[in-house]
Structure 1
């Protein structure tokens, strides 16, 4: 099968859920964020916003507010996470990027997904682990969560479509091998 550096980078990327405490450098963070803003966007509107958090105290408070929203949920599984002393929605990554957009266009979430994938691939190319974090997307309208993320710089009129955890892979945690599911491709000629 044909390959090159970009295709190999895509194949090598995995979701990382165990990180060291080493912070992502300013230069590497800027490179990952630049990759995000070069993603395609519907009608080239670029109404998205990227809020990068590297302050551990702010990340801890964000996690606590998300857990508070989960504790109020009617979903038993979310309630358990909300009351857990050890639950951390961003897996203790030293950097979290909140990806938000104006929810006025139906493609806003797709624009964010393209930007998130660009961040994943850029991070992989720099030796940085990453993981898609969904929890803030489902809790961003909780009043306590909204107040906090707005104070961090997420525009008030934005919905959170996902977050990117970034950090260095904990060497003690083995990486899973990617298993490609059969029957997922169809080519019509």
Structure 2
């Protein structure tokens, strides 16, 4: 099978759900955010926004507000998370990047997904772990959550399409090997 550095980086990247306390450096964070801005976007509109949070108190407050929104849910699993003392939607990563976009174009979420993947691959190439975080996408319009994310820099008219947890993987937690399911790919010639 053909390979190169980019293909090997793609194949080696895994979602990290346990992090050390070591913070991502300013230089590495800027490189990761720059990679996001080089993702493709529909009609080249680039209406997305990236809000990077490295303040532990703000991250903790965000988690508490998300839990508050979950506690109001009709879904039992979300209610359980909302009332949990230990639940942390961003796995205690030292950095969280909120990826938002104007919801006016049907492809806004796809643009954000491309940017998120660029961040994942850039982070992995720098030895930094990452994980897609969905919870803010479903809670961003809760009044308490919206108040906080707007104060952090997420534009008022934006929907959150995903977040990226960033940090250094806890070496005590082993990574799973990737196994591609049979029948996943079809080639028509």
The normalised TM-score by structure 2 is 1.00
**Equivalent position SS for 2:85:** coil
Number of residue-to-residue matches in the alignment: 189
1:39 matched to which residue of 2? Answer: 39
1:113 matched to which residue of 2? Answer: 113
1:104 matched to which residue of 2? Answer: 104
The offset of 1:120, in angstroms, is 0.1
**Equivalent position SS for 2:138:** helix
2:9 matched to which residue of 1? Answer: 9
1:116-127 matched pairs, under 5 angstroms: 116-127=116-127
1:147-186 matched pairs, under 5 angstroms: 147-186=147-186
The offset of 1:2, in angstroms, is 0.3
Structure 2: runs of 5+ lacking an equivalent: none
Once superposed, what is the RMSD of the aligned Cα atoms? 0.2
Alignment partners' CA distance in 1, 2:24 and 2:42: 30
2:27 matched to which residue of 1? Answer: 27
1:135 matched to which residue of 2? Answer: 135
The offset of 1:90, in angstroms, is 0.1
The offset of 1:42, in angstroms, is 0.2
Structure 1 residue ranges (4+ consecutive) displaced by more than 2 angstroms after TM superposition: none
1:67 aligns with 2:67: yes
The offset of 1:174, in angstroms, is 0.5
Alignment partners' CA distance in 2, 1:177 and 1:92: 23
2:93 matched to which residue of 1? Answer: 93
The offset of 1:112, in angstroms, is 0.1
The Cα offsets for residues 7-54 of structure 1, whole Å up to 9 and x where unpaired, read as 000000000000000000000000000000000000000000000000
**Equivalent position SS for 2:16:** coil
The normalised TM-score by structure 1 is 1.00
Alignment partners' CA distance in 1, 2:134 and 2:30: 22
The offset of 1:143, in angstroms, is 0.2
